[in-house]
Amino acid sequence: MKKTIIFSLIFIGSFVLASCQSNNPPNGLERLTPYEGCEVAQLDGYVCVWADEFNGDALDETKWNIEENGFGGGNNELQFYRKENISVTDGHLLITARQEYFGGRNYTSGRINSKYKGEFTYGKAVIAAQVPAGKGTWSAAWMLPTMNTYGSWPNSGEIDIMEHVGYDNNRVFASTHTTKFNHQNTNGALTFPKTLYEATTQLNIYELVWAPGEMRVTVNGERIGEFNYTPAFNQDVPYDDVYPFDQAFHFILNVAVGGDWGGVQGVDDSIFPATMIVDYVRFYQIDYAELDRENPTTPEDIRKMTQLNQGIFWKPSTDDTGVEKYAVYVEGEFFDHTNLNQYTFINRIPFKVLMPGKTYEIQIRAVDFTGRESGLSEVFELTL
């Protein structure tokens, strides 16, 4: 009897060990622990990793930086941002624009950011906010890159999850700005408007779902727009000119007064004070270590880009929780990583030089967030 029990325990022990090992990410990635300060710990299979519910009676400066300046936001805005215009009460953040003289400006308002305190790459941002009404306000919940990996604005991107200007009261907008598409060049920013009659009368839920090469913005569960990277439509530029959204971004919440967009119809001084109310800001991520089981599919259909010299792209691999990056091989040897299904053999290879005019055998391998790899693609012959 004793021998049987010992045998069973060993058997069970081995079984548990074996099943854990089968799901152990090759790259040692650990499972996510929900952030305890988040009132909704799990959402649509995502885990809450950061949140401000705006409880307490002051802004939590371990999560936010308060901006104080009369710089004009780069858009000729009329406000001076002050900490006095930021308050937290009854579970809500209040950002209030006022008509009052300060620092050479005729209006004051508030702007906070989570730089170095809450910044993320890929996941789901959820913000519940009510924006103020009236001509002259320009309210926004948006994101900027912390490190500017691809250079200063707009080259490293901007994600506007929600923007609202008071003279256009019943619409909200979602936009991205990049090297190729921004409001200061002829292409313009990629912008999607959405009619929302309740923008200024109730809290609405703005959500960004952000993955490699894919971004979707919704309001109250309804789609505003999608910003996806499609190399076949962008054969003139490296992927980061169109989709630099593969680096850490932080949140910004503000109410501007006037400016190049908010001030198009002037400022109605009778509307002040004008307050944006934010119930919460939450950020969720996929628990790759918990959910991932499969290897990505092998990349297929490699092609040379028609306009971008020495650039190639391929059909994106699929995976159960998403492809994080691709490994590029030259002559059977690992050469470099790229975050999307496009690679440029120029300006990317500080220590590895390929000879112009020579033909090389190129292969691609997909890698998911847990380090699981696809097979190597078929050989593509590229003449540089």
Catalytic residues: 158, 163
Rounded to a whole number of angstroms, the minimum distance from the CB of residue 153 to Ca ion is 31
Closest CB 320 distance from Ca ion, rounded Å: 5
Nearer to Ca ion, 259 or 322 (CB): 322
Nearest distance from C-beta of residue 8 to Ca ion, angstroms: 34
Phi and psi at residue 207, in whole multiples of 5°?
Answer: -130, 135
The residue type at 152 = S
**Contact set with Ca ion (CB under 5 A):** 53-54, 91, 279-280, 292, 294, 319-320, 368, 372
Pick the closer one to Ca ion by CB: 92 or 105. Answer: 92
Q: Using CA atoms, how far apart are residues 272 and 270, in angstroms rounded to an integer?
A: 6
User: Least distance from C-beta 27 to Ca ion, angstroms?
Assistant: 11
Nearer to Ca ion, 304 or 325 (CB): 325
SS3 213: coil
Three-state secondary structure call for residue 174: strand
Q: Which of 154, 162, 229 is nearest to 192 (CA)?
A: 162
Distance from C-alpha of 244 to C-alpha of 179, rounded to nearest angstrom = 9
Smaller CB distance to Ca ion: residue 53 or 240?
53
Tokens representing 271?
């509307």
Structure-block tokens of residue 96: 């209030």
Smallest distance from the beta carbon of 305 to Ca ion, in angstroms? Answer: 27
Q: Which is nearer to Ca ion, 100 or 320 (CB)?
A: 320
Is 116 in contact with 62 (CB distance < 8 Å)?
A: no
Tell me the residue ranges of DSSP E strands in 21-115: 42-43, 46-52, 65-66, 79-81, 86-89, 92-102, 105-109, 111-113
- For 221, other C-beta atoms within 10 Å of its C-beta total 7
Kindly state the smallest distance separating residue 128's Cβ from Ca ion, in Å.
8
In the complex with Ca ion, which residue's Cβ is closer, 182 or 377? 377
| Minimum CB distance to Ca ion, residue 370 (Å) | 6
State the Cα–Cα distance between residues 154 and 151, nearest whole angstrom.
8
Contact 219, 292 (CB under 8 A): no
Pick 300 or 331: Cβ nearer Ca ion: 300
Residue written as token pair 């006022």: 98
CB within 8 Å of 9: residues ≥ 6 apart: none
Residue 36 CA to residue 50 CA, distance in Å, equals 9
Distance of CA 5 to the CA centre of its chain: 53
Contact of 352 with 380, CB cutoff 8 Å: no
